[in-house]
Amino acid sequence: MATKLSDVIEQLPPARRAKIEAHAQELIAENMKLQDIRKARKLT
């Protein structure tokens, strides 16, 4: 049976989970900026 990502993340130390969450938020923000640029240039 496959292991769920949520189970793996739960087993990580709190500091590591915080670092992962911060990095995820950075990637989401970057993606939003790219979407805004594409919309402004009417690429998507």
Q: Distance of alpha carbon 16 from its chain centroid, rounded? A: 14
Report pLDDT for 37: 86
One pLDDT digit (tens) per residue for the chain, 44 residues: 899 999 999 999 999 999 999 999 999 999 989 888 888 888 75
Pick from 23, 18, 1: nearest CA to 9: 18
Assessment of whether the complete model's pTM goes beyond 0.85: no
**Which long-range contacts (C-beta less than 8 Å, at least 24 apart) are formed by 6-14?**
none
Report pLDDT for 41: 86
Q: Which two tokens stand for residue 17?
A: 């989970």
| DSSP output for the chain | -PPPHHHHHHHS-HHHHHHHHHHHHHHHHHHHHHHHHHHHTT--
Report pLDDT for 44: 59
